[in-house]
Amino acid sequence: MNVTEAIAKILKSEGIEWVSCFPSNPLIEAVAKEGIRPIAFRHERGAVMAADGYSRMNGRKKFGVVLIQDQAGAENAMGAISQAYADNVPILVMPRGSSLERISVRPYFTAATTYRDISKHVETISRPDMVGAVMRRAFHALRNGRPGPVIVEMPSDVVENEIYESDIGYHSPKISIQLPDPSDIKDAVQALLNATNPVIWSGMGVLLADATTELKEFAELTEIPVYTSMPGKSSIDERHPLALGGGSSATTLAAREWLKKSDVLFAVGSSMTKTGYGQRIPPGKTIIHNVGSLEDINKDFGVDIALPGDTKATLQSMIEEVKLRTGETGRKGTTQVPQEIEKLKKEWLETWLPILNDDTEPINPYRIIWELNQTLDLQNSIVTHDAGSPRDMMVPFFTATSPHSYIGWGKSTHLGYGIPLMIGAKIAMPNKFCLNFMGDGAFGMSGLDIETAVRSGAAITTIVLNNGGMATYPGFSPIARELYKVSHMYGDYAKIAEGMGATGITVIKPKDISIALKKAQQLNSEGKTVLIDIHSRAEDRRSPDGFDTVTEWARWT
């Protein structure tokens, strides 16, 4: 066999069931021969984003794999790899490389050097007999340490070489579970039990480590409220009395209040990255930090008690320690925390209800989110936002219930991520109703992958907020807007979707939103991809207190 065929066999042995791709790459044919399904996207960016969505759904048990060509293909993929890098998502990207003779000569593109700043681990297979070792290091990096994109570049001449099966020498790496120092676990529990207003900051690591049950048990035993970062959203059921809600730069009133007043903050399964797309942590708190990768501790905050290690195992140890100190039922039912949260939730909803229930036209996007909460089978759905205002409207108000029922993403925030991300999520969980909520600006970045969803049978639903422009920047470039229509745009997105074999539905009246959602659920269950084009208003109010801004335009038509 040749090296390409050897790689296909390794991928097969690792349980890879499908790859996302854009030709040309000889591994596409080789994996197909092994029974691994290649799905071609309309752009390399989409292929990477779908792999990212698939990996997010699978903890670190299964991985999205991407096959693309050298030069243009590898160059095109960089935005999406950067996004996976920023969000710490483990994916395997395998670009074809130029031949060894050309690989370092201008103007040939060398993924192994250019991707270095946007990936966790990069290697080139520069000799046939390296294949087993390179792939072993790649799967070790996917399964262990800080998650992130892993790159294996395959120079076209090297991978054509023959190799004996006995020379492949592949060894499959396992996940290694590491635990914090037991004395730090004790100190952390003591600090949390002694705190006046402790709060938990739950990140994506809780979802990746499959630690949501432990998070709930720990929160209930200690009666500490749980805030989720945007990627951590759905790590606790937001209907739970201790759930404060999630946050991008917008969040719920309860979350804002508790993040402000807490004296001890326990970040769990979170990189605690300072980002404009997340809530700020006011200074002066005692910080306890659990994360899988030691490098993330003391990165953006001075940490008082460091708990580097597996999030599930760490929470299990903390639960045992709490029980030792407070008995089997802990502090359950002994504090006023659930009542305080309930009061804030009520106050917040009362303020926002007129907007969530807005009956006017053009349709208010908050009304759509409210309808999603009422209409969807939330436990059996996966919902995501796109970049810009759809994100900041959704994150506080969409009710995440079961783990992974919401995908919060974005530190680099690439417009258009929603469609391919949802295709990847649908492939991971085919029985869930998968919906993404995007602006018309975002649609332009990945809209043609609606056809990929149709062709591959990954039946998803896309809501396009058709407001005729970019509402995310109210007041932005007024002269460029007025004179040259910068950020205005037009499209009949339902018609475009129909042209790609999907069902397109246009909604103009608020009362038709839930009818369209029900139809979409039905059509998706029959294997049909759906796009709902909702004529919506530009909305720039943000939760919890964004009532002082004025929308300068309702909708461009």
One of 316, 467, 521, 529 touching Mg ion (CB under 5 A): 467
If binding is defined by CB under 6 A, does position 470 make contact with ligand TPP? yes
The 104-143 contact track toward Mg ion, x by CB under 5 A, reads ----------------------------------------
If binding is defined by CB under 5 A, does position 539 make contact with Mg ion? no
Sign of CA dihedral 300, 301, 302, 306: negative
The two three-digit tokens of residue 46, written as one number:
């989409």
* Omega within 30 of 0 (cis) for the link into 362: yes
175 vs 185: CA distance, rounded Å: 22
The two three-digit tokens of residue 348, written as one number:
């917040």
Residue whose CB is less far from ligand TPP, 75 or 263? 75
The two three-digit tokens of residue 114, written as one number:
């250019």
If binding is defined by CB under 6 A, does position 465 make contact with ligand TPP? yes
The number of residues that bind Mg ion (CB under 5 A) is 4
User: Which DSSP symbol is given to 150?
Assistant: E
If binding is defined by CB under 5 A, does position 76 make contact with Mg ion? no
If binding is defined by CB under 6 A, does position 45 make contact with ligand TPP? no
**3-class DSSP state of 505:** strand
Q: Of 90-98, 133-141, 439-447, 539-547, which segment contacts Mg ion by CB under 5 A?
A: 439-447
- β partners of residue 463: 437, 532
* Omega within 30 of 0 (cis) for the link into 38: no
Residue whose CB is less far from ligand TPP, 310 or 386? 386
If binding is defined by CB under 6 A, does position 97 make contact with ligand TPP? no
Shortest Å, Cβ 442 to ligand TPP: 4
How many other C-beta atoms lie within 10 A of the C-beta of residue 132? 17
If binding is defined by CB under 6 A, does position 408 make contact with ligand TPP? no
**20: enclosing H helix or E strand:** strand 18-21
Q: Of 159-167, 245-253, 461-469, 501-509, which segment contacts Mg ion by CB under 5 A?
A: 461-469
Q: Of 275-283, 323-331, 466-474, 523-531, which segment contacts ligand TPP by CB under 6 A?
A: 466-474
Q: What are the DSSP E strand ranges found in 187-225? A: 199-202
Which does residue 315 touch among ligand TPP, Mg ion, none (CB within 5 to 8 A, set by kind)?
none
225 vs 85: CA distance, rounded Å: 30
Q: Within positions 195 to 224, which residues make up the interface with Mg ion, using CB under 5 A?
A: none
- Per the CB < 8 A criterion, the answer to whether 246 and 233 are in contact is yes
Q: Of 7-15, 177-185, 227-235, 462-470, which segment contacts Mg ion by CB under 5 A?
A: 462-470
How many other C-beta atoms lie within 10 A of the C-beta of residue 345? 18
Q: What is the full DSSP assignment across 495-547?
A: HHHHHTTSEEEEE-SGGGHHHHHHHHHHHHHTT--EEEEEEB------TTT--
374 vs 367: CA distance, rounded Å: 11
One of 87, 296, 310, 440 touching Mg ion (CB under 5 A): 440
Residues contacting residue 79 through CB under 8 Å, at least 6 positions apart? 45, 414
Residue whose CB is less far from Mg ion, 257 or 440? 440
Q: For residue 197, is it left (φ>0), alpha (ψ between -120 and 50) or beta?
A: beta
Residue whose CB is less far from Mg ion, 62 or 385? 385
Q: Which of 531, 535, 532, 493 is nearest to 510 (CA)?
A: 535
Residues contacting residue 19 through CB under 8 Å, at least 6 positions apart? 11, 27, 28, 31, 36, 37, 38, 39, 51, 65, 66, 67
**3-class DSSP state of 194:** helix
If binding is defined by CB under 6 A, does position 449 make contact with ligand TPP? no
Q: Which amino acid is at 512?
A: D
Q: Which of 515, 556, 554, 494 is nearest to 360 (CA)?
A: 554
Q: Which residue is nearest to Mg ion (CB)?
A: 439
Q: Within positions 471 to 530, which residues make up the interface with ligand TPP, using CB under 6 A?
A: 471-472
If binding is defined by CB under 6 A, does position 413 make contact with ligand TPP? yes
Q: Within positions 382 to 401, which residues make up the interface with ligand TPP, using CB under 6 A?
A: 387-390
One of 86, 442, 463, 532 touching ligand TPP (CB under 6 A): 442
Q: Of 45-53, 78-86, 331-339, 460-468, which segment contacts Mg ion by CB under 5 A?
A: 460-468
Shortest Å, Cβ 391 to ligand TPP: 8
Shortest Å, Cβ 496 to ligand TPP: 15
Shortest Å, Cβ 240 to Mg ion: 33
Residue whose CB is less far from ligand TPP, 381 or 467? 467
Q: Of 157-165, 204-212, 273-281, 413-421, which segment contacts ligand TPP by CB under 6 A?
A: 413-421
Q: Of 340-348, 397-405, 465-473, 547-555, which segment contacts Mg ion by CB under 5 A?
A: 465-473
If binding is defined by CB under 6 A, does position 420 make contact with ligand TPP? no
Residue whose CB is less far from ligand TPP, 147 or 418? 418
- Per the CB < 8 A criterion, the answer to whether 84 and 48 are in contact is yes
If binding is defined by CB under 5 A, does position 365 make contact with Mg ion? no
Residue whose CB is less far from ligand TPP, 285 or 414? 414
If binding is defined by CB under 6 A, does position 439 make contact with ligand TPP? yes
Residue whose CB is less far from ligand TPP, 30 or 419? 419
If binding is defined by CB under 5 A, does position 439 make contact with Mg ion? yes
Shortest Å, Cβ 470 to ligand TPP: 4
Q: Describe the strand order of the beta sheet including 286-291 as a list of residue ranges.
A: 243-247, 226-229, 199-202, 264-268, 286-291, 305-308
If binding is defined by CB under 6 A, does position 363 make contact with ligand TPP? no
**3-class DSSP state of 374:** helix
Q: Of 60-68, 160-168, 367-375, 431-439, which segment contacts Mg ion by CB under 5 A?
A: 431-439
- CB burial of 359-395 (b: ≥16 within 10 Å; e: otherwise) equals eeebbbbbbbbbbbeebbebeebbbbbbbbbbbbbbb
The torsion angles phi and psi of 486, rounded to 5 degrees, stand at: -65, 130
Residues that bind Mg ion (CB under 5 A): 439-441, 467
Residues that bind ligand TPP (CB under 6 A): 387-390, 413-415, 439-442, 465, 467, 469-472
